[in-house]
Amino acid sequence: MDMEITWPIEIEQYERKIYDLKQLIEISKGLNSTLDYNTLIESILLTCMGQMQLLKAGIFLKRGIGSDNFVLHRNYKGFEIDHSQEYEFSYEDSMTGLMESFSRCYTMPELKIHGFQSSALEVLHRLDPSLVVPLVGKGHMNGIIILGERINQGGFSEVEKEYLLNIASLASIAIHNASLYEMATTDMMTKLKIHHYFHSAMEEEFERTVRFNRPLSLIMADIDHFKQFNDTYGHSAGDHVLKVVANLLKENIRPMDIAARYGGEEFAIILPKTDMTEALIVAERIRQNISTEIIRYEDKHLNVTISVGLTQMDIDSDKSKKDVITRADKALYMSKNSGRNTVSFM
């Protein structure tokens, strides 16, 4: 008699496990379908929100290559952020060590009960998540996922916590792979894309522009008198200037745009879905912001300017990406020959 009662329950449990396994396989396929870091983070958060019916989700990841600090990624969903506060903590934090050692989900009360002094706990307290999920891959802590309240206002069962740990494990592997790709395609000094990546991306955008008949613009920029600057202030100061200029480029473009270090002091920016008029606004904004930036290095206040060349792809006449790059380069040299610190277009 007991067997007749337990069989349906066991069958239901097995069916649930099979369903969850199939879901995890699909999630794994989705997470591993991209090596773009921001796209991957978006996918991880939306997956967690969809699977658990959540109103909020966020993720803390390493600040950058070689960093030991975890910082809240800008793609967070639903959480109210006080922009005057820092949302960052060290990998060496005692709370991080606890989560890495035991690799389980924690509620905030469960973390607080340990009673340790923790800057990570203070950061999480400001966000007040319902559940904290460690991103552990190959025995190493790669970050944490924070989850807010659910649509039905319910808690998380042990089965759901285990399921979330499985998602986090898959996410951690995908993040590791994306990080390796990021390292391979990123210039270590400026954190912009490398020359080779630029040409691959330009090829792809050229083909998309032809296929979808949409605009594509390209900016080429060069720091004025950079050799003279290096000779005067030294190469360390020059390296610092390259980093500052690269940051200003990134601050003035969209996430979909691609900024690359094209050469020593030369940069390129691919602007998909952008016509000449729109690109001119971007180029002029970048030029102005760099020319007015006071660059502090040691006890010096330095200043540099850039010359900019700009072009829009001509779908009818441009046969390859080379045509677009050559024209943008010619526009750059027009700026160089016109006194520098200006924008020219062709």
List alpha helices for 113-271, DSSP H.
119-127, 158-185, 195-212, 226-233, 235-251
Within 13 Å of residue 132, how many CA atoms lie on the same side as its CB? 25
Question: Do the Cβ atoms of 146 and 125 come closer than 8 Å?
Answer: no
> Kindly report the CA angle at 346 between 313 and 280, in degrees rounded to 5?
80
> Does 26 participate in catalysis according to the annotation?
no
Q: Which helix (H) or strand (E) holds 63?
A: none
Active-site pick, 149, 160, 182, 265: 265
Q: Cα 47 vs. chain centroid, distance in angstroms? A: 17
> Kindly report the CA angle at 312 between 310 and 317, in degrees rounded to 5?
130
Q: Which two tokens stand for residue 119?
A: 């800057």
Give burial (CB, 10 Å; 0-12/13-18/19+) of 79.
middle
Q: Which two tokens stand for residue 21?
A: 């396994």
Give per-residue burial for 126-161: e unless 16+ CB within 10 Å, then b. ebebbbbbbbbbeeebbbbbbbbbbeeeeebeeebb
> Kindly report the CA angle at 186 between 96 and 330, in degrees rounded to 5?
150
Q: Is 10 helix (H, G, I), strand (E, B) or coil?
A: helix
What is the Cα–Cα distance from 240 to 10, expressed in whole angstroms?
A: 64
Q: Which helix (H) or strand (E) holds 131?
A: strand 131-137
Among all residues, which ones are annotated catalytic? 265
